[in-house]
Structure 1
């Protein structure tokens, strides 16, 4: 592991150490353990188990264990981690009891589903249903769903920060809503299983993030910008650069997810992300300034006069007031950490 990743793991441990006693002698089942969220969950779990000398095990569902072994051999061979082959929608339940379950197994790769929105919708719902059924029969006490800010639909431009009490929703007659509507249905399933079976179902509505393991070749703007500067290319923005976004660093993300799993209220969604807004054009310029000051930033369109920028910014007051969670690493430092990680970590 790189030095910067060790620093990040120490950061996660420092801010969650008091939570981990209840994990001793327990097992946790994790879906999506080989993706961006998942790799960070496994890195932090294995590190913390070692540092606190806990007797705990994570079982990770994956379609292709051998591929992950090639990608992250240090995780694949870690004694606290066991990889279990299966598909999220129909996996055979592993034997034994589990006390915790984190369901992070939904792909956010828009390219995989751009021609098959029905598949995306079905996989989100059936994967959640399958993991809840597994939680019911395996003794899971605390279940965490990584949901999404997409459940809110389009954020009104006059709303600076979207709160958990906002009752907007994606347009159900637009096929691009398949992801957001799937997550909404998943949250409802969590509510029903909590009500009927007493499982503590926690919900994290996740926004945008940056850090090691984030793909550089998909639809994540910050990943694409960093890739272009590393490769010596100009940064190209296809739109007008005015949309407003925010980014939480991955080690802060882990602090939030572990805290919500252990201490969050059931059926009480928490927005997870940064409330510090930045426009896409400002983000591109920041990446260029940090990574390659001579890099050119090209914006394809000119903003319309008096246009109100599109927003996707969460309010995180609930997480702060209920769980004392807040952003600890600012965006410039986050970008520097991410760039530094590229020399040691292979991104697929």
Structure 2
């Protein structure tokens, strides 16, 4: 018998596939549910012949009837390019998806993890962002479908916890990068790397002085598992790397590591784009002894190798850019 049965929604996506890897490797019986809007079958292809892994094509806006002990709810497009493609569906995925997964957890008395986001803080006027900060979010902007959808999902999780005594975990994820990022997700790390590898101009928005904090995917998944295994802690808890970099610094690091001759160009800053992002991870350190270990240049080197491999094999998502 396998140790436990675990459902991962969004399991063939960037984060979900890495989580499935860890859970399968430790012996859990894993059900990966994904509608493949942004997830890719290639991300989980190496798991399909494992006896303790099962893939089901499913959209979380519809109920799912399975028997599991734990649920990781990661289903939702997480980059502006993808979540703004169909903003109504994005909000449905966050809200209806949360309702459906919480209902499943309630019936099964299962522990449930919500992949929330640093976007709940909006364009913050508190820096770095602690969990107690309520945020500064535009409720009617072009990013609101994601920001407010995730905020509403957190509300639902805590109301299910208070009203039905549900065993919840809410993690607020800050910028994460690594192999299996979607080549066309429009995120800054994948954008810069693909542009550099193809010799295209590196696109910076605004003056390039806005900052982000980049967490390597392996560090993030370690935090997920530690948080889920910790009894009596609901969160919300920030998970991210507190080391802060400007977009110009990131672009220079990518150019250096790829040896690219790409030029840096500037474009207007998108609407509601946060100027700063940096997590306060004091709670993650105190509650389950976690802090990131992979430094930016090391993580970028691994990520560059992944995208270089996609280019060499002629992956249509990257070649056609």
Are positions 1:225 and 2:192 aligned together? yes
**1: CA distance between counterparts of 2:244 and 2:40?**
34
Q: 2:13, 2:40 within 8 Å by CA — same for their partners in 1?
A: no
1:76 positional shift: 2.0
1:341 positional shift: 2.4
Instruction: State the partner residue of 1:310.
Output: 275
Runs (5+) with no aligned partner, structure 2: none
Among candidates 42, 61, 70, match of residue 20 of structure 2: 42
Q: Which structure has the bigger radius of gyration?
A: 1
**1: CA distance between counterparts of 2:41 and 2:182?**
18
Are positions 1:131 and 2:104 aligned together? no
TM-score by structure 1 length?
0.82
Are positions 1:152 and 2:121 aligned together? yes
Instruction: State the partner residue of 1:100.
Output: 70
1:188 positional shift: 1.1
Among candidates 126, 131, 138, match of residue 171 of structure 1: 138
Deviation digits for residues 249-298 of structure 1 (CA, Å, limit 9, x no counterpart): 01001111111111164432111111111000111011101111533323
**2: CA distance between counterparts of 1:290 and 1:228?**
13
**1: CA distance between counterparts of 2:168 and 2:267?**
44
Q: 1:146, 1:203 within 8 Å by CA — same for their partners in 2?
A: yes
TM-score by structure 2 length?
0.88
**2: CA distance between counterparts of 1:131 and 1:190?**
10
**Closer, same or farther: CA 321–311 of 1 in aligned 2, 3 Å:** same
Number of residue pairs matched?
308
The alignment yields a C-alpha RMSD, in angstroms, of 2.4
Are positions 1:80 and 2:52 aligned together? yes
**1: CA distance between counterparts of 2:52 and 2:64?**
21
1:196 positional shift: 2.5
Q: Which ranges of 4 or more aligned residues in structure 1 deviate by more than 6 Å? A: none
**Closer, same or farther: CA 180–227 of 1 in aligned 2, 3 Å:** same
Are positions 1:294 and 2:261 aligned together? yes
Matched position secondary structure for 2:26: helix
Q: 1:124, 1:182 within 8 Å by CA — same for their partners in 2?
A: yes
1:113 positional shift: 4.1
Instruction: State the partner residue of 1:330.
Output: 295
Among candidates 33, 39, 46, match of residue 11 of structure 2: 33
1:314 positional shift: 1.1
Instruction: State the partner residue of 1:340.
Output: 305
Instruction: State the partner residue of 1:7.
Output: none
Runs (5+) with no aligned partner, structure 1: 1-22, 50-55, 303-308
1:240 positional shift: 1.2
Deviation digits for residues 317-336 of structure 1 (CA, Å, limit 9, x no counterpart): 11112211111010011101
